[in-house]
Amino acid sequence: MFGISFSELLLVGLVALLVLGPERLPGAARTAGLWIGRLKRSFNSIKQEVEREIGADEIRRQLHNEHILSMEQEARKILNPQSVAPQPFQPPAENSAAQPAPSQTPAAPDAPAAPAPLNDSPQPPRAP
Structure confidence at residue 34 (pLDDT): 97
For residue 7, give the amino acid letter: S
- Give how many domains the chain has, as a whole number: 1
List Cα–Cα distances, 17 to 5, 23, 36, in angstroms.
19, 9, 20
**pLDDT surpassing 90 at residue 39:** yes
For residue 121, give the amino acid letter: S
28 and 20 in contact (C-beta within 8 Å)? yes
Residue 20, in any domain of the structure? yes
Residue 10, in any domain of the structure? yes
Residue 97, in any domain of the structure? no
Residue 56, in any domain of the structure? yes
Structure confidence at residue 51 (pLDDT): 80
Structure confidence at residue 38 (pLDDT): 97
Structure confidence at residue 76 (pLDDT): 87
Spell out a b/e string for 91-126, using b for 16 or more CB atoms within 10 Å of the CB, else e.
Answer: eeeeeeeeeeeeeeeeeeeeeeeeeeeeeeeeeeee
**pLDDT surpassing 60 at residue 35:** yes
**pLDDT surpassing 70 at residue 93:** no
Structural domain that includes position 46: 6-80
Residue 60, in any domain of the structure? yes
Q: How far apart are CA 9 and CA 104, in angstroms?
A: 89
pTM: 0.38
94 and 75 in contact (C-beta within 8 Å)? no
Contact partners, residue 15, CB within 8 Å, separation at least 6: none
Residue 61, in any domain of the structure? yes
84 and 77 in contact (C-beta within 8 Å)? yes
Per-residue pLDDT of 58-79, as tens digits, reads 888 888 889 999 999 998 888 8
